[in-house]
Amino acid sequence: MENFQDKTVVITGGGSGIGRAFARRFGEESARLVLADVNESELAEASAELTAAGRDVVTKVCDVSDVAQVEQLADEVWSSHGRADVLFNNAGIATARGPAIETDPKEMAHIFGVNLFGVWNGVSVFGKRFLAEEQPSLILNTGSENSFFIATPQSWPYVATKHAVWAMTESLREEVPDHIGVGLVIPGFVNTPLVPVDAGMDVDEFTEIAMPQIKAGEFYIVTHSYNAVKIEERMSEIREAYARYAPRHEGDQALDVRTLLARRAGQS
């Protein structure tokens, strides 16, 4: 989707941080903005900023972990704007750091509720409408460098949710028809309220790098070039384990899962 002029863009977690910065970018493209967030005061601040810049923006308080609230968000978007063209599943929270063995179950459930099920709620609720309408649409999910490796030690619940968002988004792009685009936005360390220290890439620099990739229809929307080093370290360790204990051999594709499933489907 190269042109967002007059397109309705729904951004969860749009009151601050990456969501708010992307709202500025989409606003520059003359999109109609719908910002959803649990924080009403941050939504008001974002709305005031974007309205002062001449942007078309409305806001909605929404807890993405509650599918009923996501349904209500979609209902209001379709009622007020006719439809959504873009859903940007960006809402997310961080977790207290600590050893995996000592993880608080309630905190773990909370972060999975927002970072994973919150994204799935958006994918499911809006995706069903996109499928039914058969019009060009775009679903963007915010992953993380933590989708690919453990960038943040002793934060496994957060890392696990971002691994899972990658898996969900990869699966989604295989499943949807051509009129629905899918992208995985992959922040590295970005200076937002989610980060407990004043450090990382400036959020506007991040969106400046990412936005052209979104417009170009890329699936992996990347920044933070040093992440390639960490990804290669992880992949190298995996490849070396296979080379040592399960090396390739003639006919090994017979046990490939997709090969097996295709064979079974052909026999049925």
| CA–CA distance, 13 with 36 (Å, rounded to integer) | 6
DSSP 3-state assignment of 252?
helix
Which structure tokens are listed for 146?
Answer: 């933590």
| CA–CA distance, 211 with 228 (Å, rounded to integer) | 20
| Whole-number CA gyration radius for the chain | 20
- Which is the catalytic residue, given 158, 226, 242, 245? 158
Who's near 127: CB < 8 A, 6+ residues apart?
Answer: 87, 139, 172, 176, 180
Start-to-end CA distance of the chain, whole Å, equals 39
Q: Is 158 in the active site?
A: yes
266 burial (CB, 10 Å; 0-12 / 13-18 / 19+) is exposed
User: Beta partners for 183?
Assistant: 140
| CA–CA distance, 69 with 67 (Å, rounded to integer) | 5
Tell me the catalytic residues.
Answer: 158
